[in-house]
Structure 1
Amino acid sequence: MRDRMKYIGIYRVFVIVWMSAKFMLQLFWFHKTNRIWDEETKRNWDNLMAKQAHEYRVKSIRLGGLLIKFGQFLSSRADLLPQVFIKELEGLVDRVKPVPFSYSKKIIEEEWGGELGEFLEYIEEEPVASASIGEVYKASLKDGTPVAIKVQRYRVKEIFQMDFKALRIVFWMLRRFSSYGKKADLQALYREIVTVMSNELDFKKELQNGNHFKKRFKDMENVYIPEYYNDLSTQRVLVMEWIEGARVTDIPFIKENGISREQVARTLFDLCVEQFLYTGMFHSDPHSGNLMLKADGTVVVIDFGMVGEIKKRDASYLRMMIQGFILDDYDQVIDALYKMNFLLGNADTERVKKMLRETVDMYLEGDFTKLDATIMNDIMEDIQQFVKNQPIQLPADYAFLGRATSIIIGVLTAVYPQIDLMAWGKPVIREWMSGADSKYGFYKDIAADTARPLLSLPRALVSFLESGDRDREWSAEKQQNHMFHQFYLFYASLSFFTMIAGGVFGLYWYRSADLLLMWIGFGVGLMGAAGLLSFGRKHVKMMQAINTNRRGP
């Protein structure tokens, strides 16, 4: 009975809206009855968040449809939800009870315009995987080629459309009755969700994504993307090459086949660096179920239904933001955040700059030899606290990028627990920041920006970009370089104003026909010009020396 009820639109809308309204009332009552936030209040708050997340998780598994995908979306939003809520949703795996094979068979035959026997030698009626959008079956083509066939679930598009209506009502409630709704652009967030989720319902888009990634990574060693059968793939059916292997985190399989765990981790690391740092699409759901391992150690990537995209301008803005952190120029950071649509129009930029500076100092003054899941969780908690009272909204692609990064860190540490992400990441970040394809190339802008009044490079970020052997040396020289920078800048500025003032007085007394004062004025102006030239040249040489040392031999 309950299985049939989930296909009734008014029932789904009622369940989703009532659950959301109940959550909002519980939050309102909690804040109303807890004015003092002591340790006990925080524990009660965490318990309430965990209870709500658990209820959402249970209803999602029972109803399926958008609730599961939306829950996965929310698990990436540290800017929207507390970490304790996100932690519960991280266990929301997209595996649901399969529909009867007769439903899937009917869909395949409708899409192919003929009986299964006309196209397939055989098909296993029990799916190898069952998710909220589709089931995957193992089959064999007429020529004996084994394939995987992904079939859209029965009435899934209709279910998603009903859930979109319910979600619109929930967002209206948030805008009208919550403080978050008053500072966030919920209409833009709703549009992002509808666009992202609707794309997953069109297997033609997944086919295009899979072909794109296959072409993009065709030359990457130890990485393989399955072949897709374009002539058999439709909007509701996707046919791809069958891959024999195991999950990339299957340690017994790795040991049995004598595969190097470090090599597997390095392949995954390089694969993700190529996707997450450079322009183009990236796989936004790289969990172990979508990363397979063949017996020869080849990493196979599957399921390209959920992807994000880093546009060229986004990569430039990201470099611009990181450069602002390194140069201690938080005006540049704020400018980049606006351009990336992180900050909404009514943001208190001075407060945001102060909070950013304090957060960066707190984390980067520490000695983190490894970036592990615990540190990532701490950072996510602080991000959530940071944006709580600020008009900051994370665009969907950046949220998916953060989620994908967090997922792949977990996969990497499971495959190779000894991994040192800092050591692996230093040369990558250094190359990325100084890349020739970036108009915000770090070193290029340093040379062009020698007149900045503040070129105080924070110790931890600079050390991150430098090789480990030069860390102590640079730490010892930093204060001296900063002092000389300020010295040259001050006297160059003083010389410039002296030159201008002398020139103005010289011209004034020239027009007054007082030759003595005129020559004194011009003399002072020439002294200022000579000082500007001298101090400016020394300053430029110092910056060139710093640049040379930073690049290394």
Structure 2
Amino acid sequence: MNKGLKYKLSYRSSVMVWMTIKFIFKIYFFYFKNRVWDERTLQKWNALVTTMAKEYREKAIHLGGVLIKVGQFLSTRTDFMPDAFIKELSGLVDRVPPMPFTYARKLLEEEWGEDIYHYLDEIQFASVASASIGEVYHAKLKDSGTEVAIKVQRYRVREIFHKDFKALRIVFWLISVFTSFGKKADLPALYRELVTVMNKELDFDQELNHAHYFQDRFKDNEAIHIPYYMENLCTKKVLVIEWVDGAKITDTNYMYRHQLSTEHIARTIFDFYLEQFLNPGKFHADPHAGNLLIQPNGTVVIIDFGMVGEVRKQDTHYFKRLIQNIIMDDYDRVIEILDEMDFLLPNADRKKLKRLIRDTIELYQNGAFHMVDMNTMEQLKEDIRLLIKDQPIQLSAEYAYLGRAISIVLGILLAIYPDVDIQKWAKPKIKKWFGGRNLAESIYKQYVKDTVKPVLSYPKAMLNWLENGEKDRQWDNQKQQKNLKHHYFIFLEIIHFILLLVSIGCSFVGYYVQLQLVTHIALWGIGLFSILLVGLLYKHYNVIRDKM
């Protein structure tokens, strides 16, 4: 197949849209054939989902771009994705075939404005890492002899991602119209989150800023090292980073050879990430074993800050209130807080959800964390997954990435030090987090404070309701009109896309296929007419959009 097709909007869109239509049809056909769900039906369903996930993974590796990132994102979405699909996609490693060094050299010289050997003494032509967005090379600087890792954006990656965003919009529309996901999930919000997250990863300036942030935040932590960046050589498409030798954090044999304490290293990682998960600020959202290195002296090195999430001040307030009310067995409040966090969609059965949360927590509240093993962790994750899937719950991208990061870190801790005692290690941190020496007393005080606060706010809330009722009605009307316009534009984009395919198809047949002259002219006429319609629709779309 012509490799140039990979970069064409029509080809990439066709692959993504056709795969979506095929998956939807297979699901409908399965439900049509299997009216009764028993153990055998469930096995067949899992087999079907696994087959679709494998096809998705193959297409993602072939095309790269957004499909890989979407696959990674979906593997975190236990709130609406099938378990078998998530299991298959969890093996989707962000690795694609390496690009030719000639492109990397050309891009480096364009970004630096000089021949690469003006700055480099040597560079290895074979990349040491190849991902969907960047390619990494090992090099040595000319002036200082310093070894560096040079991260270069892949060939036409920004163009590919923005083409895929257009196709992804159609895919989301198909899913929202023809599947039950549209009722359970807020797909427009998911689309916006995906585009926002992936756009951030395309901007290497963002990654550089993130690295500076973590360097400053953990500058006093001698057990952690954040590699420094050669800022004079860094651009939006190139990063030049200190080269760091070390083994993967899960290589316990390496630790034994260098007489390192696995317990001490596990504790270092635990403290580093707990600080990020509990307190406001950014957190390292991709803490897999390849991004955490261990050096011979026991220093833990954190690399790759392309994927970074954020814990807001309001989030920490929510987390504290959740813990307080779980400890006080006030599950009505727990549901209210989940509502405030926008976890629950309008059609969620809150009474059933309250019972499920209470039963799940009571199942584990008497267990000792130092007895936790990998099987118990997997069972706990499975119980939480079932809890989430049973009800219309949707996590924002930030919470999904936070949950994924916590899960990965726990897995790494157990791999390094199976006797990890989470309860013992966390207790002093949680005490400090609640701001009191007596944890029970501080929780009780905050609980009383939160209980009284709504009562004191009733008079003010009543006054605001009386004053703002008319404004709210006007706002609702405007919001409804905005939604109608949004759907209208999506409809125009779909018509635009279909006519574009028709014009391309007719032109292709008219050019390559030997037909009678009349038929040949007719096909060309249809093609040209479709192109004219595309132009008129596009002009109409832009004129109306500019007036809004």
Tell me which residue corresponds to 1:272.
273
Tell me which residue corresponds to 2:212.
211
Tell me which residue corresponds to 1:356.
357
Tell me which residue corresponds to 1:49.
49
| Distance in 2 separating the partners of 1:372 and 1:204 | 40
Tell me which residue corresponds to 2:443.
442
SS in 1 for 2:211: helix
| Distance in 1 separating the partners of 2:102 and 2:360 | 56
| Distance in 2 separating the partners of 1:98 and 1:419 | 39
Q: How does 1:252-401 map to 2 (within 5 A)?
A: 252-364=253-365, 369-388=370-389, 390-401=391-402
Tell me which residue corresponds to 2:153.
152
Identity of aligned residues (%): 53
Tell me which residue corresponds to 1:193.
194
| Distance in 1 separating the partners of 2:178 and 2:305 | 37
Deviations 1:350-369 (A, max 9, x none): 33223322332334355664
Deviation at 1:256, TM superposition (A): 2.1
Tell me which residue corresponds to 2:473.
none
| Distance in 2 separating the partners of 1:430 and 1:34 | 53
Distance 1:154 1:101, change over 3 A: same
Distance 1:297 1:69, change over 3 A: same
Distance 1:16 1:431, change over 3 A: same
**Cα contact 1:376–1:406 (8 A) shared by 2:** no
Asked if residue 174 in structure 1 is aligned to residue 139 in structure 2, the reply is no
SS in 2 for 1:6: helix
| Distance in 1 separating the partners of 2:47 and 2:309 | 33
The letter for the 2-side match of 1:149 is I
**Cα contact 2:373–2:418 (8 A) shared by 1:** no
The letter for the 1-side match of 2:36 is I
- Compare 371-380 and 152-161 and name the one that shifted more: 371-380
**Cα contact 1:370–1:421 (8 A) shared by 2:** no
| Distance in 1 separating the partners of 2:365 and 2:321 | 19
| Distance in 2 separating the partners of 1:3 and 1:418 | 51
Bigger Cα Rg: 1
Q: How does 1:68-147 map to 2 (within 5 A)?
A: 68-143=68-143, 144-147=145-148
Deviations 1:386-435 (A, max 9, x none): 34453321011110011111111221122222323333334433443456
| Distance in 2 separating the partners of 1:42 and 1:310 | 38
The letter for the 1-side match of 2:135 is E
Tell me which residue corresponds to 2:422.
421
Deviation at 1:284, TM superposition (A): 0.6
| Distance in 2 separating the partners of 1:225 and 1:279 | 20
**Cα contact 1:65–1:133 (8 A) shared by 2:** yes
**Cα contact 2:16–2:167 (8 A) shared by 1:** yes
Aligned length: 450
**Cα contact 2:370–2:420 (8 A) shared by 1:** no
Tell me which residue corresponds to 1:402.
403
| Distance in 2 separating the partners of 1:76 and 1:156 | 23
Tell me which residue corresponds to 2:29.
29
- Compare 279-288 and 37-46 and name the one that shifted more: 37-46
| Distance in 2 separating the partners of 1:126 and 1:441 | 57
Q: Which runs of 5+ in 1 are unaligned?
A: 453-553
- Compare 332-341 and 202-211 and name the one that shifted more: 332-341
SS in 2 for 1:81: coil
- Alignment TM-score, normalising by the size of structure 2: 0.78
Deviations 1:291-321 (A, max 9, x none): 0111111000000000100000011011112
| Distance in 1 separating the partners of 2:213 and 2:331 | 37
**Cα contact 2:324–2:447 (8 A) shared by 1:** no
Deviation at 1:230, TM superposition (A): 1.6
**Cα contact 1:372–1:409 (8 A) shared by 2:** no
Distance 1:73 1:294, change over 3 A: same
Tell me which residue corresponds to 2:4.
4
Deviations 1:136-185 (A, max 9, x none): 11111122111111000001111111211121111101111111212321
Tell me which residue corresponds to 2:238.
237
Q: Which runs of 5+ in 2 are unaligned?
A: 454-548
Distance 1:152 1:441, change over 3 A: farther
Deviation at 1:279, TM superposition (A): 1.0
**Cα contact 1:373–1:409 (8 A) shared by 2:** no
